Amino acid sequence: MAQATKGKLNYRCPRCFMRDIDMDMFYDEKTKQYYCLRCAFRGTEEEVIGLNEQFKQKYGRLRQRVVDFGEDNEPPKFREHKAGEQ
Amino acid sequence: MQSQTELTNNESKLALNIIHRPELSPEYAEKALGGKRDVRDESLDIFLFQQETAHKYGLKTTIQITYASLFSDKIVELAKEHHDKYGDEIGLSLLGLPCKQFKEKYQTEDFCIWMFDEDRKKEIVDDCFGLFYEKFGFYPESTGSYFLDAFTINYIKEKYPSVKCAIATCWEEGPKAYHTCNNSWYTFMDGGPWNPWIPSKVNSHCPASDRDDDSGIVAIPHLSRDLLACFDGNGSNFGTHPQNVLRGMIYYEDEKGTEYPYLYNLIDQYRHLAKYNDGFCYNMMFVGPGWLNKAGRWESPYERLAKSYDDAMKYYGKLKQKGKCVDMTMSELADYYRETHPNYKRAECAMWKDILYGSNKEYFWYASPSLRCCLDFNQGGAMIDLRPYVAKIPQKVGIGTDNVYDASYPYIIQANYRAGYFTHYAGAGTVKSCKIHYHGQTADLCLCRTMARYEKTDKGVKIVADPVTVTLDGLDITVRSIFFFDEETGNMMTRREIVNDLHGEVVTLEEYLTGGFGTTEYQPDMTDVSLWVYTNCCGGGLIDYEYKGRKSVGKIYANACLPSIHTQITLEGNEADRSSTDYPDEFEVEEGIAFSPVFHLRARKNISKGGMETWLKLQKVN
């Protein structure tokens, strides 16, 4: 069996990423899967992308823009971010 | 070039440093490319792209020339051209040492200037500065690295006095970065300031206490980082470094491409810090070329990496156009900082809010020549980080010292490394908070979420938390916490006030500090620690630490002497008025046990109205 290689885009292990570890994965051409050297994760590119989208759910303000930082003792005010806007 | 007067008149604007370094073999790119491409040419292309992007949006830069690029006539000429045409400053970076010439000359794969032995540090500094002079005909005004220790700064300032600004730390880069990089990235430099500061001659983490202690430079951090997300999590995902934001996957896709409003929110929160710092606010962006390599990085293709850099420059350019930002070179920033910060004792403050997760968490950060600390209002104002800057711990770092790579400034409290309020079944974590006792029941303000207001006073900074109510055996007890940082003495006051009518019921307030010391999650041996409570000239109690869980009670104060970090920490009442009704009834010290290697300082008072005032005093010992 041929040795594994780095896959395109340097995908990190999504399971390790969820525990704050940046672990580049390697690609097994035979199974068409990425796999992790540190944990037992293995999965297709599609599965990796899906898990990465799950990861982003912890960022509750991912799509929001601060309008006003408000008074010290109140949370900032946000609005939905519009495509292309800064 | 702008005059100093113009810059001073812009004091409520964001002071901005854009810094680029041409590397000819950036460590990230070499790994990522796996030696398959010509890193040298690619790195030059990336540097050009960064320069062109900044200039496109009307921003001047500081070009930090690396050792490797001093051997490139092309880069030297380019730097001169951009200096003449755009006003870019040509500085000298002590990053980017690795190259064929360096490795052959020094016979090493090491590349972090602070990790070499002292003789080698001097040799490399002289080599870099000498070569720089040879190529440019002058010595630089700015330099930097991921971290610069006091030894290196002092040597540079002595030999090359033109240097007045240096990149000298990565904020909260330590065990968290090490873990994130699969325990392979040895940049341990936790515990420094997050914004520009004047480093002490003794320890570069500590702001200088006076002119005699002034190292002669203004230091800046390597990135402007999120003061909440970086403390709670992996520091490398949350900074004004667009590729860090991509690394953290803090973006989404839409019809216009990749969007990262968090990056703009982060820059804006740094602008907001002007409110707490006499109008001064600062941002810097320093993206090494490895982050923009053509093979892509962190799941992002090159196109997204490049777009994020362009978008960041575009946003700074827009702020500049609107008169909300002033782009400066590093040496200009140093002059501006000196002008706007004439008082060494004036602290840097940040009331920092969560702009990412959707919580209402709020931290207050404070850094003065006496201490750095963080109050967490999601835990009632509990102190979750404490660094005794007053000790100016004369740490040496590098080969031949006791700290080959660990340059972090020690903590007394670090609630994430050392548990804080929540522990598993036994022991206690490092934190400073207040407990309220009534009829055998207890509540800790760590479990009372609130927010707070900042107030500048003549003598320092006052932080007032919104009152919280705890209910014990049916009795509602409403408590307001007030924190005061005395700039003159460096001491910190905490006042806990009962603000509702307890109808004569008596409750016990217990202010406590659970501390340890170290730079990582692991506590060094504590047997040199001594704990002391004082009652009067004839009475007190001394405990030499032996992990036996012993306690001692006294009337006037409680303290812990921590020789390993040259610090004595004291919890006391208002020493100017020991008969005050706010003075605690008693103090207590307690040693820890092997399973929970910490120490405890406590102050208690039984009250039905009014409050209790305690002072935290840090002193240098040894």
Q: Are the beta carbons of B262 and A72 separated by less than 8 Å?
A: no
Provide, as residue numbers in chain B, all residues whose Cβ is less than 8 Å from the Cβ of A86. 264, 311, 314-315, 318
State the number of CA atoms in the 13 A half-sphere of B588 facing the CB.
15
**Which of B181, B299, B315 is nearest residue A10 as measured by Cβ atoms?**
B299
Largest CA distance in chain B: 82
Tell me the CA distances in angstroms from B97 to B49, B101, B109, B110, one per residue in order.
22, 9, 10, 9
Provide, as residue numbers in chain A, all residues whose Cβ is less than 8 Å from the Cβ of B176. 20
Q: Is the pTM higher than 0.80?
A: yes
State the number of CA atoms in the 13 A half-sphere of B572 facing the CB.
20
Give the pLDDT band (50/70/90) at residue B153. very high
DSSP category for residue B302: H
Distance between B477 CA and the closest CA of chain A, angstroms: 21
Q: Residue B136 has which token pair? A: 């440019």
Q: Are the beta carbons of A52 and B299 separated by less than 8 Å?
A: yes
Q: Are the beta carbons of B182 and A22 separated by less than 8 Å?
A: yes
Kindly tell me if the per-residue pLDDT of B3 is higher than 70: no
Q: Which residues of B284-315 are buried (b: 16+ CB within 10 A; e: fewer)?
A: bbbbbbbbbbbbbbbbbeeebbbbbbbbbbbb
Q: Which residues of B390-422 are buried (b: 16+ CB within 10 A; e: fewer)?
A: bbbbebebbeeeebebbbbbbbbbbbbbbbbbe
* Pairwise pLDDT comparison (A62 vs A2), residue with the higher score: A62
**Which of A8, A56, A60 is nearest residue B249 as measured by Cβ atoms?**
A56
Task: Give the pLDDT of residue B32.
Answer: 53
Provide, as residue numbers in chain B, all residues whose Cβ is less than 8 Å from the Cβ of A59. 250, 262, 356-358
Say if residues B192 and B221 touch (Cβ distance below 8 Å).
Answer: yes
What is d(CA B314, CA B304) in angstroms, rounded to the nearest whole number?
15
Provide, as residue numbers in chain A, all residues whose Cβ is less than 8 Å from the Cβ of B269. 66, 69
Give the pLDDT band (50/70/90) at residue B418. very high
- Measured between CA atoms, the residue of chain A closest to residue B295 is A9
Kindly tell me if the per-residue pLDDT of B421 is higher than 80: yes
* Mean pLDDT over the full length of chain B: 94
Q: List phi, psi (to 5°) of B70.
A: -65, -15
What is d(CA B258, CA B163) in angstroms, rounded to the nearest whole number?
40
Task: Give the pLDDT of residue B64.
Answer: 97
What is d(CA B13, CA B9) in angstroms, rounded to the nearest whole number?
9
Give the SS3 label for residue B267.
Answer: helix
Q: Are the beta carbons of B262 and A62 separated by less than 8 Å?
A: yes
Instruction: Out of B12-26, B141-155, B401-415, pick the least confident.
Output: B12-26
Provide, as residue numbers in chain B, all residues whose Cβ is less than 8 Å from the Cβ of A25. none
CB atoms near residue B380 (< 10 Å): 25
Q: Helices in B527-620 by DSSP H: which ranges?
A: none
Q: Are the beta carbons of B297 and A10 separated by less than 8 Å?
A: yes
Say if residues B547 and B597 touch (Cβ distance below 8 Å).
Answer: yes
Kindly tell me if the per-residue pLDDT of B332 is higher than 90: yes
* Pairwise pLDDT comparison (B497 vs B98), residue with the higher score: B497
Kindly tell me if the per-residue pLDDT of B539 is higher than 90: no
Provide, as residue numbers in chain A, all residues whose Cβ is less than 8 Å from the Cβ of B450. 73
Say whether residue A1 is in contact with chain B using an 8 A CB cutoff.
no
**Averaged pLDDT, B295-300:** 88
Say if residues B87 and B3 touch (Cβ distance below 8 Å).
Answer: no
What is d(CA B415, CA B384) in angstroms, rounded to the nearest whole number?
5
State the number of CA atoms in the 13 A half-sphere of B504 facing the CB.
0
Kindly tell me if the per-residue pLDDT of B311 is higher than 50: yes
Closest of B453, B417, B474 to residue B188, by C-alpha: B417
Q: Residue B50 is which amino acid?
A: Q
Residues present in chain B in total: 622
Say whether residue B87 is in contact with chain A using an 8 A CB cutoff.
no
Task: Give the pLDDT of residue B255.
Answer: 84
**Averaged pLDDT, B267-286:** 97
Kindly tell me if the per-residue pLDDT of B11 is higher than 70: no
Q: What is the pLDDT of residues A17-56, one digit of tens each?
A: 999 999 999 999 999 999 999 999 999 999 999 999 999 9
Say if residues B154 and B121 touch (Cβ distance below 8 Å).
Answer: no
Q: Residue B472 has which token pair? A: 């014990």
- Put simply, the chain B residues between 394 and 453 with a CB less than 8 A from any chain A CB are 450-453
Say whether residue A64 is in contact with chain B using an 8 A CB cutoff.
yes
Q: What is chain A's Cα-based Rg?
A: 18
Q: What is the pLDDT of residues B204-239, one digit of tens each?
A: 999 999 999 999 999 999 999 999 999 999 888 999
B558 forms beta bridges with: B533, B571
Closest of B23, B132, B131, B143 to residue B94, by C-alpha: B143
Kindly tell me if the per-residue pLDDT of B338 is higher than 60: yes
Say whether residue A57 is in contact with chain B using an 8 A CB cutoff.
no
Q: Are the beta carbons of A62 and B250 separated by less than 8 Å?
A: yes
- Measured between CA atoms, the residue of chain A closest to residue B452 is A73
Q: Are the beta carbons of A62 and B255 separated by less than 8 Å?
A: no
- H or E segment and range at residue B243: helix B242-247
Tell me the CA distances in angstroms from A84 to A63, B257, B315, B390, B419, one per residue in order.
12, 8, 12, 48, 42
Task: Give the pLDDT of residue B26.
Answer: 57
Kindly tell me if the per-residue pLDDT of B1 is higher than 50: no
**Which of A20, A38, A75 is nearest residue B233 as measured by Cβ atoms?**
A20
Provide, as residue numbers in chain B, all residues whose Cβ is less than 8 Å from the Cβ of A60. 356-359
**Averaged pLDDT, B74-81:** 94
Interior CA angle at B267 toward B261 and B271, to 5°? Answer: 135
Give the pLDDT band (50/70/90) at residue B5. very low
Helices and strands in chain B: count of H runs, count of E runs: 13, 31
**Averaged pLDDT, B160-173:** 97
CB atoms near residue B500 (< 10 Å): 14
Residues present in chain A in total: 86
Q: List phi, psi (to 5°) of B239.
A: -145, 175
Task: Give the pLDDT of residue B509.
Answer: 98
What is d(CA B584, CA B616) in angstroms, rounded to the nearest whole number?
13
What is d(CA B156, CA B166) in angstroms, rounded to the nearest whole number?
10
Q: Are the beta carbons of B356 and A65 separated by less than 8 Å?
A: no
Q: Which of B277, B319, B356 is best to mutate for the A interface (most A CBs within 10 A)? A: B356
Say if residues B335 and B4 touch (Cβ distance below 8 Å).
Answer: yes
Give the pLDDT band (50/70/90) at residue B498. very high
Kindly tell me if the per-residue pLDDT of B38 is higher than 80: no
What is d(CA B573, CA B576) in angstroms, rounded to the nearest whole number?
9
Q: What is chain B's Cα-based Rg?
A: 25
Provide, as residue numbers in chain A, all residues whose Cβ is less than 8 Å from the Cβ of B255. 83
Tell me the CA distances in angstroms from A17 to A52, B451, B500, one per residue in order.
9, 31, 47
Closest of B410, B276, B286 to residue B353, by C-alpha: B276
CB neighbour class for B184 (10 Å; exposed up to 12, middle 13-18, buried from 19): exposed
Kindly tell me if the per-residue pLDDT of A75 is higher than 90: yes
What is d(CA B375, CA B381) in angstroms, rounded to the nearest whole number?
5
Domains of chain B: 4-351 (3.20.20.510), 370-620 (2.70.98)
Provide, as residue numbers in chain B, all residues whose Cβ is less than 8 Å from the Cβ of A52. 249, 299
Say whether residue B321 is in contact with chain A using an 8 A CB cutoff.
no
Kindly tell me if the per-residue pLDDT of B2 is higher than 90: no
What is d(CA B116, CA B105) in angstroms, rounded to the nearest whole number?
14
Distance between A41 CA and the closest CA of chain B, angstroms: 16
CB neighbour class for B268 (10 Å; exposed up to 12, middle 13-18, buried from 19): buried
Q: Residue B131 is which amino acid?
A: L
Distance between B510 CA and the closest CA of chain A, angstroms: 25
Kindly tell me if the per-residue pLDDT of B620 is higher than 90: yes
- How distant is the alpha carbon of residue B331 from its chain centre? 22
Say whether residue A2 is in contact with chain B using an 8 A CB cutoff.
no
**Which of A38, A66, A74 is nearest residue B265 as measured by Cβ atoms?**
A66
Tracing tokens 């320093």 back to the chain, one arrives at: B286
**Averaged pLDDT, B578-595:** 95
Q: Residue A85 is which amino acid?
A: E
Task: Give the pLDDT of residue B10.
Answer: 42
State the pairing for strand pair B218-221/B165-169: parallel
Q: What is the pLDDT of residues B507-516, one digit of tens each?
A: 999 999 999 9
Q: Are the beta carbons of A66 and B356 separated by less than 8 Å?
A: no
Percent of chain B with pLDDT over 70: 95
What is d(CA B386, CA B374) in angstroms, rounded to the nearest whole number?
7
Say whether residue A56 is in contact with chain B using an 8 A CB cutoff.
yes
Kindly tell me if the per-residue pLDDT of B136 is higher than 90: yes
Task: Give the pLDDT of residue B27.
Answer: 54
| ipTM, 2 dp | 0.97
**Which of B272, B315, B355 is nearest residue A86 as measured by Cβ atoms?**
B315
**Which of A12, A59, A73 is nearest residue B250 as measured by Cβ atoms?**
A59
- Measured between CA atoms, the residue of chain A closest to residue B361 is A75
B338 forms beta bridges with: none
Kindly tell me if the per-residue pLDDT of B360 is higher than 50: yes
Percent of chain B with pLDDT over 90: 88
Q: Residue B430 is which amino acid?
A: T
